[in-house]
Amino acid sequence: MTVSVPTNVRQLNDARITSLLDKLRDRTLKPFEVRSIVHDLATLICKHVKVTADGDETVAVIVVLRSGLAMFDGFMESVPETVSTAVYHMGIFRDQASLQPVEYYNKLPVKPSYIKQAYVLDPLIATGGTAGAVVSILKDWGVEKVTFLSMLSAPSGLSRAASVWLEGTEFVSTIPEVTIGQEH
């Protein structure tokens, strides 16, 4: 089944990414192997995204705790040396009972005028609640554009998150082929 995606979603169809995602399904992987594969995935995903900044602009890099930490090094290695970055961490989790996002850590300062765009690192979009909450927080913070990088997204969760700020957000992710009734 072909998945229809919102206009602000760039679906990655890269055989190298698919191969690495397949490797991650191996439950016998040791933690260092998982970190290595996630690093390689983040690096490959970033090859599909051009990180740029105008003049004195600084790009905000938002790491969604804790899972986004694994993508950080691969992302930063892909950022050109000429681009200034400021790194921030946001802690949001999904409450298991209500399935609603719960913010537990956010130390974003008053937004400096030289930050106009943010790149968010979060490896998985499931229901879209956490991703949508992050986008909403960054929109309220005052950035002009958010690029959300994810290794894998459930179609319905991605659609939910993408609808939060259509004109100001781009999602870059792989979307698995699903059969109706299989998505969770």
Q: Please tell me the pTM assigned to this model.
A: 0.91
Q: What is the CATH number of the domain that holds 64?
A: 3.40.50.2020
pLDDT tens, 112-168?
999 999 999 999 999 999 999 999 999 999 999 999 999 999 999 999 999 999 999
Domain count for the chain, please give it.
1
SS (H, E, C) the chain: CCCCCCCCEEECCCHHHHHHHHHHCCCCCCHHHHHHHHHHHHHHHHCCCCCCCCCCCEEEEEEEECCCHHHHHHHHHHCCCCCEEEEEEEEEEECCCCCCEEEEEECCCCCCCCEEEEEEECCEECCCHHHHHHHHHHHHHCCCEEEEECCEECHHHHHHHHCCCCCCEEEEECCCCCCCCCCC
- Does residue 178 form part of some domain? no
- Does residue 1 form part of some domain? no
- Does residue 160 form part of some domain? yes
- Does residue 180 form part of some domain? no
- Does residue 4 form part of some domain? no
